[in-house]
Chains A and B, each alone.
Chain A
Amino acid sequence: MMKISTTSTELRRRGLLRFARTAALVLVAQMSGLAAPGAGAMTESEAGARAVISETVDEVLAVLRDKSVPTEQRIRSLEQIVYGRFDLYVMSRLVLARNWKRFSEEQKAEYVEEFKQYLTNSYGSRIERYDQQEVEIIGEREEPRGDVVIQTKILGGEFDGALIDYRLRKQEAGWRVIDVVIEGISMVSNYRDQFKSIVSTGGPELLLQKLKEKNAAGMVIDKTSAK
C-alpha cells in the first residue's frame, strides 16, 4: 500500500514538472518570437534554394495570368516549369519508402512516369480557378542534413493566408523540390499513406494498375465550378 502511494505521488510530481517545463518553453518561444522575427543572415544553401522558388513562382504566375492562351497549352507550360524544378524521381521514391525495393527496374520507371501523369491530372485542372493571387516568400531554413525549406504564403483569393512550404534538396543540376507541404500537410506523406496500403494488398502491380486507371480517366475536372 505504502509503496503504491509513493509511486503515484512521484508520478504526479514528475507530471507537474514536465508541465512546468512545457509552460516555460512555450513562454520563452513566444517572447523571443516577438523580439526577433526571422533575424539572421541567409546561408548560401538557403539563398540558392530561395532563388529557385522565386523564379518558379514568377514563371508560374506569368502563365496563370495569361488567360488568352488555351488551357491545354498552359498546362503544358506549367508542366515544363514545375517539373524542371522538381526532382520527381526522388519524390516518387520517397512516396514509396520501403516499398521502393519491391519494384523491379521496369516497374520503377513505369511508376515514376505514371505518378508524374497522376500529379498533372490532379492539379492541372486547378489553373482555371486562378484568381489574381500572389505568392510571397516569407522565410527559409536549412535542415540538419542539408535540405532547405522555403516558406511561402498565398495572398488573396480562396486560400488567402495559406502557408506553403517547399522542401528542396541539392542535386547535381541544382536545387530541386522534393516535397510540398501545405499547412503542415506533406504531399509525400499523404501519397505515402495512400499508396502503402495498396502496395501491401496487391503489390507493385496493383498500385501501377490503380494509377493507370486514374490516369486513363483523365484530368480531374471541377464539375461544380460551372458558375
Chain B
Amino acid sequence: MGFCGGDPAPRTRLAALAAIAAALSAGIACAPVSGPRDPSDPWERMNRGTFRFNEGLDRWVIEPVAKGVDFALPDPVERSIAKFFVNSRIPIHFGNALLQFKPVSAVEDLARFLVNSTIGFAGFFDPASHIGLEAHQEDFGQTLGVWGVPAYPYLVLPIFGPSSPRDAVGLAADSFSTVYPWFVPLYVPFAIGVGDRLNWRSLKLDEIASEREAALDYYVAVRNAYLSYRENQVRDQKDEVTDDEDLYYID
C-alpha cells in the first residue's frame, strides 16, 4: 500500500512511444477474468493485459536500470533529485490550484517555488517545507475531479500505468501546458521524463518488490490503491468526515 508520495506518473510527451506500446500490448493475450466485475473497472480484461505488459516492461527493463541508478546514487541524493522534479512541476500545480478555486494553495505553491528554486538550489532541497509552506501538487486530472468528473472507469495505460480517461486527459493537458518543451527539441522533455521515472522507480525498489510479493492479487491491489489515492487527492480536505457506511458497517 505504498504508492503514495510524489506524482503518480512523470509527464512528458511520450505519445509516440505510448502508441507503439499500445500496439504491442494489444497483441498480448489477455488473462481470463473471473469473479465479479468491479463497477469501477468495466475494462478489466483489457486492463489486465496492459498491466501484464507494463509488469513485463518493468521487470525486464525499468527495474534493472533503476537498480543500477540505486547502486550508483545514495538514497538521499535520489530523494533530492525527486524533489527537483516535483519543484519543476510547481507552475502546473499553481495553475491547477487556481482552476480549482484554491487561491490559498496557489499562493503557497508560488511561494514554495520561489523559495525552493532559489535558496533550495533549483529545487534539490526543500527549505519551503521547513518554514511551513505546504505542497499541494494539484494536477489537471484532479481539477477535472473537482469539477465533477469521476476517477473511474479505471484505465491502465501502456508505460504510464494506472490511470483513467479523466487522468489521461489531465496528463496530456498538463504536459502540453508545460511551456519550456516548446522551445527545445523533443528529446529534452523525453529525457527529463525518463530520468524522473527512473529516479522515482529507484526509490521504490523495496516498496514495490514487497507489495508484489505480498498481494494475493497484485492487479486488484494496485487498482484499489490508485483509485483511492486519486480520490483522496481530489477531496484533499483532510478534516472531512468520511463515514463510509459500506466499508465500516456490514450488517
User: Are the C-beta atoms of A194 and B35 separated by less than 8 Å?
Assistant: no
User: Are the C-beta atoms of B214 and A121 separated by less than 8 Å?
Assistant: yes
Flag whether B187 is at the interface (Cβ < 8 A): no
Closest chain B CB from A186 CB (angstroms): 6
Q: Please name all residues of chain B whose beta carbon is closer than 8 Å to the beta carbon of A161 when the two chains form the complex.
A: 5, 129, 135
Distance, CA A194 to CA B104, complexed state (A): 39
Q: Please name all residues of chain A whose beta carbon is closer than 8 Å to the beta carbon of B35 when the two chains form the complex.
A: 196-198, 200-201
Distance, CA A182 to CA B229, complexed state (A): 9
User: Are the C-beta atoms of B101 and A122 separated by less than 8 Å?
Assistant: no
Q: Please name all residues of chain A whose beta carbon is closer than 8 Å to the beta carbon of B205 when the two chains form the complex.
A: 224-225
Sort chain B's interface into a size bin: 35 or more
User: Are the C-beta atoms of B220 and A222 separated by less than 8 Å?
Assistant: no
User: Are the C-beta atoms of B220 and A193 separated by less than 8 Å?
Assistant: yes
Q: What 1/0 mask marks residues of chain B from 207 to 236 whose CB sits below 8 Å from any chain A CB?
A: 001100111110011011100110111010
**Which residues 175-213 of A have a CB within 8 angstroms of B?**
178-179, 182-190, 192-198, 200-201, 210-211
User: Are the C-beta atoms of A193 and B3 separated by less than 8 Å?
Assistant: no
Secondary structure at chain A's binding surface: helix, strand, loop or mixed?
helix
Q: Please name all residues of chain A whose beta carbon is closer than 8 Å to the beta carbon of B241 when the two chains form the complex.
A: 141, 143-144
Distance, CA A195 to CA B36, complexed state (A): 11
| Tally of chain A residues near chain B (CB < 8 A) | 64
Q: What 1/0 mask marks residues of chain B from 30 to 60 whose CB sits below 8 Å from any chain A CB?
A: 0000111010000000000000000000000
Given contacts A182-B2, A183-B5, A193-B224, contact A163 B102 (CB under 8 A): no
Which one of A98, A197, A220 lies within 8 Å of B213 (CB-CB)?
A220
Distance, CA A195 to CA B216, complexed state (A): 8
User: Are the C-beta atoms of B228 and A186 separated by less than 8 Å?
Assistant: yes
Closest chain B CB from A161 CB (angstroms): 7
Q: Please name all residues of chain A whose beta carbon is closer than 8 Å to the beta carbon of B210 when the two chains form the complex.
A: 122, 125-126, 220, 222
Distance, CA A195 to CA B35, complexed state (A): 10
Q: Please name all residues of chain B whose beta carbon is closer than 8 Å to the beta carbon of A193 when the two chains form the complex.
A: 38, 220-221, 223-224
Flag whether A214 is at the interface (Cβ < 8 A): yes
Which one of B203, B224, B233, B242 lies within 8 Å of A190 (CB-CB)?
B224
Flag whether A30 is at the interface (Cβ < 8 A): yes
Q: Please name all residues of chain B whose beta carbon is closer than 8 Å to the beta carbon of A223 when the two chains form the complex.
A: 209
Distance, CA A172 to CA B138, complexed state (A): 43
Interface residues, chain A, CB within 8 Å of chain B? 18-19, 22-23, 26-27, 29-31, 33-34, 38, 93-94, 97-98, 100, 121-122, 125-126, 129, 139, 141, 143-145, 147, 151, 158-159, 161-163, 167, 178-179, 182-190, 192-198, 200-201, 210-211, 214, 220, 222-225, 227
List 21 A–B pairs whose Cβ atoms lie within 8 Å, in order of A's numbering: A26-B102, A30-B103, A122-B210, A141-B239, A143-B241, A159-B4, A161-B5, A167-B248, A178-B248, A184-B229, A185-B1, A185-B4, A185-B228, A190-B1, A190-B224, A193-B221, A197-B220, A198-B216, A201-B35, A224-B70, A224-B206
